């Protein structure tokens, strides 16, 4: 993976101040250098500038970017962040067409595919990506993002200039862009966060290119094109045919994503999803005489303080041990994080994301990724299976399924109970959240005459893919790339999403078993104890020392009159909250963010306001 950044203005001539604008590109890509430190490069011409920082995975020696190619009398330039998994299928026709390849990178394949097939060539790609292409013949800048939004790409337009980058911080390195927020920014933070409305960068006028979209920027302005989305189709396959198709798609996606010129490892949580990925990857490497590195995550003394609840019924480690035994995973590493490190990394997690996030859940993953990076550059993960196969409790618990709101964030009161009353009234969070929710429901592609229950499951699936999954993908990208680690997500293969989106709920929840379709499709891969395991999310700490550290830090914030969050919260309410024992089993976001994470979220908001000092625009 890599980091990309750049700008374009058709009324400017950047070459008149070449050194100044070159230095600007350097600052932009240096701000995201953590995404890859193996190589750097810039490109500057009259109207456009590109900057790139590289994590070398394919053609380690010769894949430096930007890649510049001349075809006829025209020049084409690309900067790219991602991985294309079907380059071997694209290469033969491009070679027959006469294109000469100087590298074995997927970057060069993308550029020639654009030149050969035209602007809609992206339909041919299987992968995760965000890239920019400068077409000097057409005087056109193109920005593309992958179908499911695995790789990020932010942009803004100011005074006829489009400025873009893999992370928001890169945009702030451009002289025309300063951090600003408005009332809707605060509604996103307090009402939607740690999720974000699709396409919303929270900072004022900062946008994120939507998944499955590309942007064309020319002298005539900007146009945004949807090239892929989920579609509803009648599912005619029998259950057995569906099982066989899912079995093929899942295994093919995992094997495709083993492509790399450096060793690949896997995150093994002991859950069904990561175990399936690990099983296929391990078998694939063993056939070639190689071995898979695997890593699992937990928290220090969780064996003492762990508290079982409806959302997290059991610990992971016993199931990791079962997988280790079955697949002889001798190269497995148990990683642990203590409460002090977790609290210390809350600020780093904000810097990684440029926004408050999933607090210690982000911070712990960042820490674990920093340890994995000592061994590997590329990791396979089990993310994104629950969203499409129906693994979350809001797919099958009626009180969550039929709640007329985002089911992972049902309790709005938890978001407002510590806010200043007048500030909460100004935010009008319930109205804002409801509007975002209804906007998404209007986009759901229904089948005609769908039964109400099936229609609602389709809505829940669509909401999960467009919202909740994006939050987890953001988390995975920033946590891994902050440490120059590439995390791949086989279950986010668009072919899996397209097919399973239309599979009836009765096949996904057969005999009342969550994700029964996936379990059946991969029955031969997993031991029975693991195959039948109930869903248990990413682990979190239950150590009382962590709660103590949070209370101490939040107490310092509310006692400091200069704390930027102070006008937004009710000090007396916070003080009373700090005196109560934290509630672990009642999440206010997802399945993990409960009482301690509410404290941590306020801490992150305060740090975010201090770090970025955004000007408030009314």
Q: What share of the chain in percent tops pLDDT 70? A: 98
For 501-548, what is the HEC assignment? CCCCHHHHCHHHCCCHHHHHHCHHHCCHHHHCCCCCCCCCCCCHHHHH
pLDDT band with cut points at 50, 70 and 90 for residue 261:
confident
Instruction: Please state, in angstroms and rounded to a whole number, the distance separating the CA atoms of residues 179 and 301.
Output: 40
pLDDT at residue 309, as a whole number:
62
Looking at residues 27-33, what average pLDDT do you find?
98
Looking at residues 274-288, what average pLDDT do you find?
95
Phi-psi sector, 128: left (phi>0), alpha (psi -120 to 50), beta: beta
- Does 306 score more than 80 pLDDT? no
CB 433 within 8 A of CB 320: no
- Per residue in 394-426, pLDDT (tens digit) is 999 999 999 999 999 998 998 999 999 999 999
DSSP-assigned states of every residue in 196-262:
--TTB-SSTT-EEPPTTEEEEEETTEEEEEE------------HHHHHHHHHHHHHHHHHHTT--SS
Instruction: Please state, in angstroms and rounded to a whole number, the distance separating the CA atoms of residues 618 and 615.
Output: 10
pLDDT band with cut points at 50, 70 and 90 for residue 592:
confident
pLDDT at residue 312, as a whole number:
64
DSSP state of 189: I
- Does 311 score more than 60 pLDDT? no
β-pairing verdict for 140-145 and 213-218: antiparallel
Looking at residues 356-370, what average pLDDT do you find?
96
Short-list 327, 383, 309, 324, CA closest to 540 = 309
pLDDT at residue 411, as a whole number:
86
Q: Of the listed 2, 8, 24, 522, which one is catalytic?
A: 2
- Per residue in 188-205, pLDDT (tens digit) is 999 999 999 999 999 999
Looking at residues 54-70, what average pLDDT do you find?
86
Short-list 379, 360, 382, CA closest to 371 = 379
Looking at residues 169-186, what average pLDDT do you find?
98
Annotated active-site residue 265? The verdict is: no
pLDDT at residue 540, as a whole number:
77
Looking at residues 141-153, what average pLDDT do you find?
98
- Does 20 score more than 90 pLDDT? yes
In our burial notation (b when 16+ CB lie closer than 10 A, e otherwise), range 111-122 reads bbbbbebebebb
CB 155 within 8 A of CB 164: yes
Q: What share of the chain in percent tops pLDDT 90? A: 87
pLDDT at residue 317, as a whole number:
84
The label of the residue with tokens 């920014």 reads 185
Looking at residues 233-240, what average pLDDT do you find?
97
Q: Which residue has the higher pLDDT, 310 or 438?
A: 438
Mean pLDDT estimate for the chain: 94
pLDDT band with cut points at 50, 70 and 90 for residue 63:
confident
- For 592, phi and psi rounded to 5 degrees? -115, -25
Domains of the chain, earliest start first = 2-226 (3.60.20.10), 239-399+469-531 (3.40.50.620), 544-611 (no CATH)
pLDDT at residue 217, as a whole number:
98
Residue 486: other Cβ atoms inside 10 A: 26
CB 550 within 8 A of CB 603: yes
Looking at residues 103-130, what average pLDDT do you find?
97
Looking at residues 113-131, what average pLDDT do you find?
98
Looking at residues 303-331, what average pLDDT do you find?
79
DSSP state of 61: T
pLDDT at residue 538, as a whole number:
77
pLDDT at residue 56, as a whole number:
83
pLDDT at residue 542, as a whole number:
83
- Does 133 score more than 60 pLDDT? yes
- Does 59 score more than 90 pLDDT? no
Lowest model confidence (mean pLDDT) among 116-125, 272-281, 318-327, 510-519: 318-327
pTM (two decimals): 0.97
- Does 600 score more than 90 pLDDT? yes
β-pairing verdict for 161-165 and 180-181: unpaired
Which alpha helices (H) appear in 448-511, and where do they start and end?
A: 452-463, 469-481, 494-500, 505-508
- Per residue in 429-476, pLDDT (tens digit) is 999 999 999 999 999 999 999 999 999 999 999 999 999 999 999 999
CA distances (Å), origin 400, targets 171, 198, 393, 404, 429: 39, 22, 7, 9, 20
pLDDT at residue 57, as a whole number:
81
pLDDT at residue 178, as a whole number:
97
Instruction: Please state, in angstroms and rounded to a whole number, the distance separating the CA atoms of residues 117 and 112.
Output: 8
- Does 80 score more than 80 pLDDT? yes
pLDDT at residue 554, as a whole number:
97
Looking at residues 353-368, what average pLDDT do you find?
96
Instruction: Please state, in angstroms and rounded to a whole number, the distance separating the CA atoms of residues 14 and 42.
Output: 13
pLDDT at residue 1, as a whole number:
65
β-pairing verdict for 264-267 and 293-299: parallel
Burial class from Cβ neighbours inside 10 Å (0-12, 13-18, 19+) for residue 191 reads buried
pLDDT at residue 546, as a whole number:
94
Short-list 47, 24, 22, 51, CA closest to 35 = 51
pLDDT at residue 18, as a whole number:
98
Looking at residues 537-561, what average pLDDT do you find?
91
Task: List, in order, residues 6 or more apart from 110 with CB less than 8 Å away.
Answer: 78, 80, 84, 125, 129, 131
Report the range out of 62-66, 176-180, 408-412 with the highest average pLDDT.
176-180
Looking at residues 93-122, what average pLDDT do you find?
97
CB 353 within 8 A of CB 345: no
């Amino acid at each position: 993976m890599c980091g990309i950044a750049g700008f374009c203005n058709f009324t400017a001539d950047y070459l008149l101040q070449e050194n100044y604008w070159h230095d600007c590109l350097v600052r932009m890509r240096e701000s995201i250098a953590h995404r890859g430190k193996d190589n750097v490069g810039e490109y500057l011409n009259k109207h456009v500038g590109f900057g790139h920082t590289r994590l070398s995975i394919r053609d380690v020696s010769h894949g430096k970017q930007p890649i510049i190619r001349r075809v006829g009398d025209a020049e084409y330039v690309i900067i790219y962040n991602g991985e294309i998994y079907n380059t071997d299928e694209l290469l033969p026709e491009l070679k027959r067409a006469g294109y000469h390849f100087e590298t074995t990178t997927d970057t060069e394949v993308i550029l020639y595919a654009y030149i050969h097939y035209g602007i809609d060539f992206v339909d041919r790609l299987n992968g995760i990506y965000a890239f920019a292409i400068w077409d000097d013949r057409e005087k056109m800048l193109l920005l593309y993002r992958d179908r499911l939004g695995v790789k990020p790409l932010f942009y803004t337009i100011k005074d006829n200039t489009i400025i873009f980058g893999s992370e928001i911080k890169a945009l702030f390195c451009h002289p025309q862009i300063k951090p600003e927020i408005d009332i809707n920014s605060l509604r996103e933070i307090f009402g939607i966060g740690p999720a974000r409305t699709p396409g919303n960068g929270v900072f004022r006028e900062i946008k994120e290119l939507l998944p499955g979209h590309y942007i064309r920027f020319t002298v005539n302005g900007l146009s945004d094109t949807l090239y892929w989305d989920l579609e509803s189709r009648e599912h005619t396959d029998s259950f057995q045919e569906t099982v066989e198709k899912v079995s093929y798609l899942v295994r093919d996606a995992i094997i495709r994503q083993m492509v790399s010129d450096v060793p690949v490892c896997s995150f093994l949580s002991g859950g069904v999803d990561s175990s399936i990925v690990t099983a296929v990857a391990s078998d694939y490497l063993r056939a070639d005489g190689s071995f898979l590195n695997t890593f699992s995550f937990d928290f220090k003394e969780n064996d003492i303080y762990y508290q079982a609840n409806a959302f997290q019924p059991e610990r992971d480690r016993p199931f990791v041990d079962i997988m280790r035994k079955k697949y002889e995973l001798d190269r497995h590493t148990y990683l642990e994080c203590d409460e002090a490190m977790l609290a210390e990394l809350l600020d780093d997690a904000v810097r990684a994301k440029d926004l408050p996030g999933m607090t210690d859940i982000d911070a712990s993953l960042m820490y674990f990724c920093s340890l994995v990076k000592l061994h590997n550059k590329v990791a396979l993960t089990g993310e994104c299976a629950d969203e499409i196969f129906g693994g979350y409790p809001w797919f099958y618990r009626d009180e969550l399924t039929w709640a007329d709101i985002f089911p992972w964030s049902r309790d709005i009161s938890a978001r407002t109970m510590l806010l200043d009353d007048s500030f909460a009234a100004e935010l009008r969070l319930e109205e804002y959240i409801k509007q975002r929710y209804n906007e998404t429901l209007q986009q759901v592609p229904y089948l005609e005459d769908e039964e109400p229950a099936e229609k609602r499951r389709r809505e829940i699936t669509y909401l999960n893919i467009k919202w909740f999954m994006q939050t987890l993908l953001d988390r995975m990208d920033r946590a891994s790339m902050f440490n120059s680690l590439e995390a791949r997500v086989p279950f986010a293969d668009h072919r899996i999403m397209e097919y399973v989106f239309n599979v009836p709920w009765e096949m996904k929840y057969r005999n009342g078993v969550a994700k029964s379709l996936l379990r059946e499709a991969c029955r031969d891969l997993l031991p029975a104890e693991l195959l039948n395991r109930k869903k248990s999310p990413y682990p979190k700490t239950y150590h009382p020392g962590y709660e103590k550290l949070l209370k101490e830090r939040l107490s310092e914030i509310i006692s400091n009159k200069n704390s930027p969050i102070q006008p937004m919260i009710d000090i007396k309410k916070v003080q009373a909250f700090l005196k109560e024992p934290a509630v672990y089993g009642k999440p206010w976001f997802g399945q993990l963010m409960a009482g301690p994470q509410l404290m941590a979220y306020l801490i992150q908001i305060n740090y975010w306001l201090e770090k970025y000092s955004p000007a408030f625009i009314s």
